[in-house]
Amino acid sequence: MMVKNLSVGKICGSVFLFFTLTGSAFSQDLAAGLSVYQSKCQRCHGADARGNQEISIALDIEFRYLGSAETQVLTDLEIRQLIVRGKGKMQRVEGMTVSNVRDVIAYLRTLGG
């Protein structure tokens, strides 16, 4: 009997790849996505997804409209990483479940139409 040497890294990588590739196969709830956006994103990104002017001034940043072509070209995985890791002055969003992230991404996709 031959036993394959599987490292924790290979196992974790395989699990991550599985969920990354199948993430879009799970149902998305646009109403839940809007609710998550309103509770977790709207404070900074604004009700219209164009950015909160006061925060823009305070942080000396320019918000990009979340429905813009620049934003909509990002893959779901890239948006997920921005949400869970943050980037630049955008801090990671605390308290997000896998479903929350998936739903808010689905909501953001409706802005690009």
Tell whether 11 is covered by a domain.
no
Tell whether 68 is covered by a domain.
yes
Tell whether 19 is covered by a domain.
no
Tell whether 45 is covered by a domain.
yes
Q: What is the CATH number of the domain that holds 103?
A: 1.10.760.10
Residue 60: domain span:
28-110
Count of domains observed in the chain: 1
Burial class (CB in 10 A: 0-12, 13-18, 19+), 42: middle
Tokens at 79, concatenated? 């948006």
Tell whether 9 is covered by a domain.
no
Tell whether 8 is covered by a domain.
no
**Structure confidence at residue 21 as a pLDDT band (50, 70, 90):** very low
- Partner residues linked to 87 by β-bridges: 90
Tell whether 75 is covered by a domain.
yes
pLDDT (tens digit per residue) in 50-83? 999 999 999 999 999 999 999 999 999 999 999 9
Tell whether 10 is covered by a domain.
no
pLDDT (tens digit per residue) in 95-110? 999 999 999 999 999 9
**Structure confidence at residue 11 as a pLDDT band (50, 70, 90):** low
